[in-house]
Amino acid sequence: MLWSQLLPCLLVALSPAWASSSSSSPSPTPSPSPTQSAPPPAFTYNRTSFLLHGDPFVIIGGQMDPQRIPAPYWRDRLVKARSMGLNTIFSYVYWNELEPVQGEWRGGAGGSNDVAQFFRIAGEEGLKVVLRPGPYVCGEREWGGFPAWLGAVPGLTVRGGNGPFLDAAERYLRRLAREVAGLQVTRAGGPIVLVQVENEYGSYGEDHAYTAALRDVLKDAFEVPLYTNDGGVEWTLKGGEVPGVLAAIDGDPRSGFAARDRFITDESELGPLLDGEYYTTGFDTWGSGTPHAGASEAQVQRYVEDLEFVLAANNSISVYMFHGGTNFGFGNGALWKEAGGKGYTAAFVTSYDYGAPLDESGRTTPLYETLREAIARFVPAGSVPKAPRNVPLSGFANVSLGLGGALFDLLGGMATGMRRVEEPVTMEQLGQSYGFVLYRHIVAASVSGVLAPGDRARDRVIVYVNGVRRGVIDSTYATPATVELDLAQGDMLDLFVENLGRVDYWSRESGTVSALEDQAKGVKGNVTVGGEVMVGWEVFALPVETAPVFTPGSGSERAENTINAVVEGAPPVFFHGTFLVDPEAAAAGDPAALDTFLAVPDGVKGVVWVNGFNLGRYWIVGPQQSLYLPGTVLRADRENEVVVLELEPRGDKLTVFGEVERTWANYADPDYDG
């Protein structure tokens, strides 16, 4: 049985040291002679300092998650981290990407899931690594990095001493350790120096048996020290502390450091001060009233002052984010909010730019230069490499996309399964993780009144009667729009439900934790119209992991065009077309020279694929109005294929173009007048 082995607590070195370290490279350690003592541990800490091969080491870190970045660009991003003066990279690892299907591991073997390779490159570029494996990571990621299949395991509840969850989490952590444990600093000087236990657990709960169980598995799987990371106030620190594990804080270092030393009293949890997440600006959520997060001059000045406050005292810090990257595909998560006693979601946008020193496309920003100057004052002159130049972005002119197929006409090829049921089943019950579900009902007897799609909208429900859109019920509003229907016998009622991203952050302070453990998507519960239960459904699973191919050619994977014109209120439609990249940019031979931001100026809401790669979602409400298109996806020597699934088509044509400067803007939601 898993979780049966209990291991001793982490021993903390108590030898005195207090000084800054200027280099991320290990100090030389001579072989001991008969009169010499054994060499010091590769990485440890005492009450005031981290110690790298016995020498004080100040962590000057930044967060960068490999699974949000195209793998060919990893080295470029890591070189730029070192050139800002960082000596350490903090990285979340996303369980749902590594094990999207229970028991099916997709780590290694190249691509953005080859996290071990990312860490190897970090070491080659002179950077240490802090591994943040979860199993829960938050990170504005879909369900905090949990795989969706957890929601279909009988009796499973996350983030606690629940047997099915603990077993799954242990298997994941041990499997991950087999890939990366050889990269610890204890193994021939690898880059990994610290491993985090859970993530900001004190904000969620106080089940210390659960976090101790995670500690024991990680201690058995890794040799480097462990740490926890929690908000710098009493209740979060007390909830998240783990005996034998260094307690670190996030947020404001001034109040957070003081709180750590005041409220953490167990000596086995004390050591050097580490601000594991010092925030630069913040994330963006979809909505007409949510502009792009950006930092004012006063905020930037505070960043500099806080950085100086930490480093002047030889304490440690990690900038969150140094480089955010992108929620490609359906990778974004959501926040749970409450207003007027009603719960609703705030879904994160596709971009994870975060206002970071290195922007979404990997270009340095004015904040990068400002923080670089601040860090340079605390390391020896000349030790910070020269910052690489930014490669100019490319662009391409307007491309008119033609009609492809209507999604509902392609159900035979697009749906991964169909069930006939009396009552609706959820996305998870269909064995599906992301994307869309279509629920179809033929009305048996006339009925009228307000439509209720189960217990609540999960998350955005587009309602059609006889193939014509009648309204949208959207959980991103505290009071979603009301859809009233007048249905006659034989009418076809379609509910097209989009998973906007499972909630990744919720707090026990709000009292909604138990409700939010239910992350089911699609329709849960009975659908009613005017209080009458609608019985008898066809349910189509539409993960839309790949787009159909409409360009000329042969093969069973190529879909036929199914419509000639778009009528008002039409169901979702695929548009497609091709474009060529800028020949001058292509001639550079560097994929970064082809980087661009793809805009869909006349679209309402949808998903974009380029050469089969899912760039993510767009939505007219903003603040994001263009999608990062990495040059690694593009073909320099031939046409590039673009496919757009527009959920609310308004005409027979759709336009896309590539812009060299990204657009942030907000517009009114055409589906909501509240």
Contact between 88 and 115 under an 8 Å Cβ cutoff? The reply is no
Host H or E run for residue 516: helix 513-516
Task: Tell me how far apart the alpha carbons of residues 152 and 612 are, in angstroms, rounded to a whole number.
Answer: 29
Contact between 611 and 641 under an 8 Å Cβ cutoff? The reply is yes
DSSP string, 358-388: B-TTS-B-HHHHHHHHHHHTTS-TT-SPPPP
498 is catalytic: no
124 is catalytic: no
C-alpha pair distances (Å), 569 with each of 11, 449, 471, 526, 585: 65, 20, 9, 25, 41
DSSP string, 201-255: GGGT---HHHHHHHHHHHHHH--S-EEEEEESSHHHHHHH--TTSEEEEES-HHH
Host H or E run for residue 587: helix 583-587
Host H or E run for residue 83: helix 74-83
Task: Tell me how far apart the alpha carbons of residues 586 and 596 are, in angstroms, rounded to a whole number.
Answer: 13
User: 81 is written with which tokens?
Assistant: 């981290």
Task: Tell me how far apart the alpha carbons of residues 487 and 528 are, in angstroms, rounded to a whole number.
Answer: 12
- Active-site pick, 277, 360, 428, 659: 277
- Active-site pick, 170, 200, 646, 659: 200
Contact between 565 and 461 under an 8 Å Cβ cutoff? The reply is no
Single out the residue of 463, 458, 643, 437 nearest to residue 542, CA to CA: 437
C-alpha pair distances (Å), 348 with each of 183, 246, 496, 571: 33, 31, 21, 25
Contact between 459 and 437 under an 8 Å Cβ cutoff? The reply is no
User: 89 is written with which tokens?
Assistant: 């990279």
Q: Would you please indicate which residues are annotated as catalytic (active-site) residues? A: 200, 277
